[in-house]
Amino acid sequence: MAAPEDRADTGPALGGTRLALPAVAPKTGVPAPGCPAGGEGEERPEPAFRTLDRFAWARWAEASGGISAEALSEAWVDWATHLAISPGKQTELAWKAGRKWMRLWSNWVMSAVGSDRTPPCIEPLPQDRRFEAEDWQREPYRTLWQAFLLGQQWWFNATTGVPGVSRRHERIVEFSARQALDMLSPSNFIATNPEVLDRTLREGGMNLARGYAFLIDDLLRLATDRPEQDEAFRPGVGTALTPGKVVYRNRLIELIQYAPATETVHAVPLLVVPAWIMKYYILDLRPENSFIGHLVRKGYTVFCISWKNPGPEDRDIGFEDYVHLGVDSALEAVAAITGQDRVNALGYCLGGTLLAVAAAAHARNGNGRLGSLSFLASQVDFSEAGELSVFINESQLELLEAMMWEKGYLDQKRMAGAFRILRSRDLIWSRMMREYLMGERTKPSDLAAWSQDATRMPFRMHSEYLRHFYLNDDFAEGRLEIEGTRVHPSDIELPVFSVATERDHIAPWKSVYKMLYLMRAPTDFVLVSGGHNTGIVAPPGTKKAHFRRLRHAEDEPVPDPDQWLAATSPRPGSWWGTYTAWLARRSGGRVPPPPMGRADAGYGAICDAPGTYVLMR
């Protein structure tokens, strides 16, 4: 989709990133921008044999589903060889297996002789709801699911704690073994699932007929590339409904200014920087659970970046372009429209990482435009970045780069598929059982529709991001350079409000917590119930919502996260009210609302929110 004519882009020229890379980018053979002529840095055409390698790797990526089989096999060989020479570990596993089977046998005997109230010998984890139905308490299904969970527990013991296995390989083996076992769960098969059997008998097999129809419809959708998103939740129709205007556009972002909902507003505006990996409207779903709408109703002047869904023409946009064309250009527009010298900023997920890098660069060059920083499920230290980092290694990155090299971007289906794999038990196998075996279509929801509305990743930016953050952790270790200057989280001295979620599989809360060790800033750390998305989108009135809060001064020692968690009682309710109160103290007095855009400064209203970039497929 071509952007309509609008205000000229004042950002830096594209075509080459300014991120500090080696003279030759890792394993690409492409000279980094600015290399001097002559010697090793002399620009030269990419060798034909390198092109052949990339073509071959791209074909291999298609065949392997984008997963590096070499990295998997290397991890499993490391595990198997070290287990083979560890008689103590082998003996321990044999002892554990015998003990588990004795527990299972004893439990079955007690249940068989009529002890109906005999507790199971193993309980599912709190988040595992596969066996909670009453039908699973009948024999033989009761013994079947207990045997499965005991086996899953044994495999966890078998894949961890083997002497000599590297930590990275151990994580790969444990993760892949867990994924395979989740696929083999008795809940996934007709013959071993009492819920499916009972439904089939009651309906004469019509549930399976409906499930078959659902399967055919899904396969046709995949074959024809038909969008999965429910039109009822399309941005501007059922979601992203907070009134506003697009007041700035460049080749990477649209900037939305939201219309005031109060007679007066806080003087200091708020800029929201969402993750570019998904569409921005996770923070503006329906009116009743819109975080942006909540802030507007509380009297804040809110601006939000809407990232463009990049295409092949954007292959050379780099991470530093996201800093300048994204955060810096938006801050310039917000300041010009509101007339304020200071702007508060909030980053969500990867948008928070980007905001932290921009803030560190501002601190280095003396730019005092930012007033405070808020982070939602955002990491600045990636040394323990959760299960998403399990397969981030040279082999996997080479495979991803070959895939992106052909198209100029990483297809959004690959990214959405990666997130589903992280929660395959809930997002793949349980859904398939419910839809294809029980014959029940998953009810559409705004959050589910948003999660299917992924974006593409530009070749250069995504490669740089994975290498500099997930693979090498350059920002936390002080190696990341912006415009030739090294930046580090310790450069940030602004007040910080950081939110982490208890069950986050993308940004684990202890990884987010490391922000307190790295920043020289007064920080309010809040740990909230829920997962990466559900914990953030938790408006007042959310059932069972709770949070814990830590107020940390920059000159105080950081408490151990586990000890702090054990010593802090959760507060019931949503964290939104606590945040707006914190933000109010850093947003100045109440003033009349600023104009919706400023045409005289080159920021006139272009179109209504949610804009055009969010609709790009």
**pLDDT value of residue 421:** 61
d(CA 307, CA 278): 9
Which helix (H) or strand (E) segment holds residue 572: the answer is strand 571-572
Residues of the chain with pLDDT under 50: 1-41
Q: Judge whether 588 lies within some domain.
A: yes
Q: Judge whether 306 lies within some domain.
A: yes
**pLDDT value of residue 577:** 97
Dihedral of alpha carbons 475, 476, 479, 482, sign:
positive
Q: Judge whether 51 lies within some domain.
A: no
**pLDDT value of residue 219:** 87
29: left (phi over 0), alpha (psi -120 to 50) or beta: left
d(CA 146, CA 69): 32
**pLDDT value of residue 428:** 75
Q: Judge whether 536 lies within some domain.
A: yes
- Return the CATH number at 367: 3.40.50.1820
d(CA 368, CA 342): 7
Q: Judge whether 346 lies within some domain.
A: yes
Based on the structure, what is the number of domains in the chain? 1
Q: At what angle do helices 87-112 and 141-159 cross, to 10 degrees?
A: 170
Q: Judge whether 110 lies within some domain.
A: no
For the chain, the C-alpha Rg in angstroms (whole number) is 26
Return the active site residues: 349
> Which range marks the domain in which residue 576 is found?
245-383+473-615
Q: Judge whether 303 lies within some domain.
A: yes
Chain-centroid distance of CA 88 in Å reads 39
Q: Judge whether 162 lies within some domain.
A: no
